[in-house]
A = this chain, B = another copy of it.
Amino acid sequence: MNTLIVFSHPEPQSFNGELKNIAIETLQCLGHSVEVSDLYAENFDPVERPSHFPDRSVVDTFQPLTEQRQAFQRQTLPTDVQRELARLERADLVILQFPLWWHSLPAMLKGWFDRVMVYGGVYSGSMRYDRGYFRGKRAICAVTTGSPAAAFSPHGRGGDMAKLMWPMHCSLYYLGMDVLAPQVIHGVQGGELSYQNETEFRHRLKQETSNWADRLTHLTSDAPIPFSGWADWDDNGVLKAEHPLAWR
């Protein structure tokens, strides 16, 4: 199996960095190949902007999707986007490793979606969801938070973690991937800014890394999160009235 780890943390020595390293070791031990997109180290530009398309299809106004499609067709996509797409093509499993910042992905990783997932290349009106380009690939978010798990429980003040993950899970499914339940590690806040006992915290992190290593051994067989698909929708893209879930 080929794995792509998309790593989005500015500090290699961070706990996110450790989780990334553990994934590399564990997967390689299992005989899988591992590739890493280290977005910060590679100085990825997360901003979709006109300068990425020097040879524009429409010159007077910048229309990102139109330019993405033309650049894909002409094979003139920016080098970094081409590199990321090639990595995705090779991958059977994609791991997004990142800290939850402001209830979502760090801008760096958000921009990886904005720029790499090119219209007319890896998705279109007819090529998405369970007819998506990346059908057959699996994806998982491995995410750390800075607050205790209780804060992200369904009635927690941080917001229900499942709801915070929903938009990114939608994006991965939109691309056709099987989305696995995320590996979430809460309360990753030690040192000076900590609200917890440092010894217990370090002990817990150790346990969490070991849990992650265990989880990695069965990602290929874990059941993906269920999503509705084309067969479930009416012509407007809405769950059919007779669908068992439509009463909710």
Contacts and interface: CB of A to CB of B under 8 A. Distances in A.
Interface of A: 10-11, 13-14, 40, 46-50, 60-66, 69, 101-108, 110-111, 113-114, 117, 119, 125, 129, 146-148, 150-151, 153, 155-159, 163-164, 166-168, 170-171, 174, 191-193, 195, 228, 233, 236-239, 243, 245-246
Nearest to A109: B107
A33 to B, nearest CB: 27
Contact of A102 (B49, B117, B155, B245): B117
A5 B228 CA distance: 37
Contacts of A156: 236-239
Contact of A107 (B11, B107, B147, B233): B107
Among A104, A105, A151, A192, the most chain B Cβ lie within 10 Å of the Cβ of A104
A228 B157 contact: yes
A47 B46 contact: yes
A243 B157 CA distance: 13
